[in-house]
Every structure is written in C-alpha cells, then in structure tokens.
Structure 1
C-alpha cells in the first residue's frame, strides 16, 4: 500500500512543498518510506484515487487546473494531462462511483464543476457547472462571497454534498451519472449557524447521519440525512476545542472511523485532533479529548484503511506525524514515526498493495 501526499508550493502561500510525494506504508508499524517525488507541480493540494487504484487526480490550489496521473504497479505516478476547472482555487475533487466523472469545487469562484474522465484516465473538457448561491455570512474576511470547499458523493453515490464556507450553507445535488450533470436535490440546502463556515463533511458508515466540521467557529454539526431527498436535518452542534483553550483556532479536517464509533476533527491554532465518541443509536457526539499533533497547523489527517494508524499533516511545521489508534477508546498515541515534508495538506491511500 502507498500513501500519496499533496502540498502547497508557492511563495504566495509561504509554502515549502515540492510536489506530490509517494511513500510506501509498513502496515505493521505505520512507518513511511519515500518512493517518488513528482515535482514541477503548482500547489497539488487535494488528491483522489480511482476505485481501481490505477489513476490519481489532483487539483492545483490557487490556479484553475486539475491533473490526471496513472499509477504503476510500483506505486509511482506518471503524468497524463491537465484540464481547466473554469474557476479559481479548486479546493476539492471527488470521482463519481462509476469512475466516469470528476467533480471539483472552485473555492474562490463559487462554482462546482464536472469534468469527464476518459477511458485513458485523462480528464476531458468541462461538461457541467453550477453556482452555489445565497446570502453571505457575517465574517468580514472569510465570508465575502460563496466559497464551496468540499464535494463528496454520499454513500449511495447518487448525491453530492457541498459545504459552502462563505454562505454558511451545505448544499445537496443529485448527480446524473449518464450526462455528468449536477441537479438541485429535493431539499437543496441546509443553513448552519451564522459565521460557522462549514468546510468538510463526513458520513457515518452505518447511520443516516452526516457530520460537518465548521472552520470558522471550530464546531462540528450533526445532521440526520435523507439519501432520497437530500434533506439534512440539524441535530446537534458541539465544540471541537477543549473548554480550557482560550486562544484562536480554526477547524479543518473531519473523519469517522470505519466502525462508526469515533469521530475526529483537527484544530489549527490549538494544534490538536479532537476525539468524539458517537452514540450508536442517534449518532450524537460526546467530546472525549483533544490530542496534540506534535506540530503546527494540522490542516489534514487520515486514518489508515485498517484503522490502526492516523497520519497527521502539520502544514506549518512540515511534518507528517504517525499515531496509533486505540480501537477501544479511539485514543491516539504517537508512534515516534515522523516524516519531514514541505507544507503537507492532503493524503490519500491507494495504489497496488505491497
């Protein structure tokens, strides 16, 4: 198994990254060993891997580009092509369940677009574009306009859920897999608290529940989710920060463990991973603890596919820190494994098994 690490590279981002780094993963210890650097890329800041594990796609933050790569048997990448996303600062991408389309959120343009994926794995030209619209939130800096930040498919593969940090809304679209079109769901959006700034979402693996990590107020929202209508019914809002923390912080990433027992969210400023237990009946959250990430600005983290390890990307200290996961408590313990890599901001597991 391999892990692919995206980063920031530009002076405008005060970045120190150098491209997409590929590492092999020791499944017993969690240790990473460097395999390849794909350099010469501008801000390869979010990554996605095809279901067949043979193609990798990335968006290039602060540009208008997305790129495709093939994955070889040894896990290495070969560049295929790039396409225009018809917007500025693509922040996230998701592959349709049938592998035929790539959905991309243009964070600074307020648009979500669809690019076809050709049989060769290359990206085709734009086939659809929708705008996320509504009244802007109250934050004078971060909410000057629509800012979609994430666009995963729901577990059914029929809906795309798009949190918009600028509008304090989470949008839901039906996806036409024949035409590659995004259509408003019967319940097209839910409003969050004003100034929350919804950033990313995570689906519970067994309950009809969606969780939203809210960047600007460092909270997590719990919603009952109707996969037919797209309705998101608010249930709970809970802080991702310890009560004793009095400084400034913003939330970034969110993930639910494979068993649906624990939820994790990262705090940039408090520099921690918040751990929540999940009620098995309702999906409601209880704050358990916040584990320091041993670095600054944990923009991203990822659980290993087997759930044994968590990898935390500390963007401003140029490290990936490995933690072991206690399956009984969800607790995180540093393994002592640390990788130095410039401005890491995304990680995905995939490629041929080793």
Structure 2
C-alpha cells in the first residue's frame, strides 16, 4: 500500500533470500489505502481507502499480480464531532474475523465499527447481519485485535487514546462493548493518539501504543511514546492495566509481536527506528534488548514463515 496515493503494489518473495521483485500496481478506487488483507481463500485483497471512506476488493491472480477492482463499498453514517479529524468515513483497518466469515472495519471518522461479508466468487462486499455498531462518541476506533481463543476483540481508539473490549458473536458477526479504559498511563496529561493494538499469542495480554501530540500535524515528543500492557481476564475478557513502557522513540504508529510472543518490535515512525523488546512470559512486561534498527519512517512490520 502507498499512503496518500491511490494504488497498491504486489511483489514476489524470493524464498531463499527474502528479497522482493515488483509485480505491478493496481488502482484501489480511492485515496490513501491505509490497510489491506488477503482473504482466507487467497482469492481477493481487501483494502481500506482511508481518505475516501471506502473499502475495495481486488482479485489475486495466479501469478501473484493484482487484478482490477472487483468491488468498492462506501461506508455510510454521520461524521463524529471532531472538526478536523472526522470529516466523514475513514476506515483504517480491514482484518478478517478468526473464522474468515467477516471483515470487521473500524471507522475512525464515523465512530462506528462495520461488519462486512465477502463473496469469494465475485469479490462483492455486503453488510453482515449486524451491519455496524456505534462506539463512544469521539473515540475514533482505529485498529482491532481478536483474542486467539475466547469470544472477545479489542480496539485501539485513536482520538481518545482508549482501549475498548467487546464481546464477539461469531455466528452473527456482532460486537457488544464491555469495557473502555485509558490506553495511556494515569499521569499522562497531554494530548495523545492511539495507534496499534495486539493480543499475545497465548491470549493472556493486550498491548496498545500511544503517540503523543494532537494528530499527525503536531511534531510529537520530545519525550518518547509508550506501549501499554494489559492483563486479560480468562473468565470475562476484561482488561487490567499492568504498566507502560517507553518505545524509545516518537510516534509508534505500529508494533508487532513475534510469532512465538517472546519479542515485541515497536516501529517509531517519526524517529525512524524499530526497537526490540523481550516479553516477560509471566507478567507480560517489556524489556528493551538494546537492538535498534534505523530505517525510514517504519509503518508496518510483517513476519514471513520460511515454510510458507
């Protein structure tokens, strides 16, 4: 994907070296494709056109290239109350539900979360049995993460820097809010924007990143931003704050856990670093390893399985 542009690109991965070869580009029917996901049948790519308020699908061709636009769905609703950040629909994430039946779309412009169905023959999108739910006003839901084996999902709410816990009805594709709590530490008094959220592979902890400042137009800093750690109740899915750790940089737009859950990688977009942490298996806490990669404005980190 290419932020603020109108297309996505496909690449072939060399299995021996991991190096990429460009296969071409395809228009998404909108502007600022912020997130994309491959459907479980490996037939279509789903794209969130953040600035134009649409969700697009493109067919995946047998050689790895992208086919032309298969569908383009506009998300309806009233904009949220923020005068500049919520002018209209702004989908930012298009993950599939764990069983692959639904695409769940947080929209931080409408303060809503949509549930869509994908026809894997035609690529057409439609609304699920419960098309959407409203979040707390001014929340700005940005990303969500499903629990690996319990019926819960968690959102990072960008504008309020909050974390919301939902019950997930997999049969109906329905969300029901259970809890809202601050994503920032209690002593944080300045402006903040939530960015990324993840659940540990064992389902015991939730992690959420916070970016200081009032949106992308503010410089952020000078103090490093944080990742909050939250303990998950195995009975209720509710969260309890464990602590906050500095990301060692500015604007952790993204972070991810290693597949085994033993490492966390924080991508500090504004300070151009990826900082590595050890994850404590008992407490879920983070400890910097001292390993820092310097790179240009990191916005996402993905792992490739060698046997894939």
Q: TM bucket by the smaller chain? A: over 0.9
Q: Deviations over 1:117-138 (max 9, x none)?
A: 0000100001111111101100
Note the aligned Cα RMSD (angstroms): 1.1
Corresponding residue for residue 347 of structure 1: 301
Corresponding residue for residue 92 of structure 1: 35
Partner of residue 203 from structure 1, selected from 138, 146, 157: 146
Corresponding residue for residue 289 of structure 1: 243
Gaps of 5+ in 1: 1-58
Q: Deviations over 1:175-207 (max 9, x none)?
A: 211221211001011100110000000000011
Give, in whole Å, the separation in 2 of the partners of 1:183 and 1:146.
17
Q: How does 1:216-235 map to 2 (within 5 A)?
A: 216-235=159-178
Report the TM-score when normalising by structure 2: 0.94
Give, in whole Å, the separation in 1 of the partners of 2:260 and 2:232.
19
Give, in whole Å, the separation in 1 of the partners of 2:75 and 2:129.
16
Give, in whole Å, the separation in 1 of the partners of 2:264 and 2:225.
15
Moved over 3 A (4+): none
Give, in whole Å, the separation in 2 of the partners of 1:223 and 1:176.
26
Give, in whole Å, the separation in 1 of the partners of 2:246 and 2:39.
35
Q: Deviations over 1:286-340 (max 9, x none)?
A: 1111101111111110101111110100111111100000111100000010111
Give, in whole Å, the separation in 1 of the partners of 2:90 and 2:209.
20
Q: Does 1:63 align with 2:5?
A: yes
Give, in whole Å, the separation in 2 of the partners of 1:206 and 1:257.
11
Q: How does 1:1-354 map to 2 (within 5 A)?
A: 59-73=1-15, 74-269=17-212, 271-352=225-306
Q: Greater shift after overlay, 151-160 or 220-229? A: 220-229
Give, in whole Å, the separation in 2 of the partners of 1:284 and 1:94.
27
CA contact (8 A) 1:75 1:351 kept: no
- Residue 352 of structure 1, CA deviation: 2.5
Give, in whole Å, the separation in 2 of the partners of 1:235 and 1:179.
36
Give, in whole Å, the separation in 2 of the partners of 1:149 and 1:304.
23
Q: Deviations over 1:57-100 (max 9, x none)?
A: xx111000101001012111000011000101110000000111
- Residue 351 of structure 1, CA deviation: 5.0
Gaps of 5+ in 2: 213-223
Give, in whole Å, the separation in 2 of the partners of 1:286 and 1:332.
16
- Residue 229 of structure 1, CA deviation: 1.2
Report the TM-score when normalising by structure 1: 0.82
Give, in whole Å, the separation in 1 of the partners of 2:282 and 2:124.
42
Q: Structure with the greater relative contact order (CA < 8 A, sep ≥ 6): 1 or 2?
A: 1
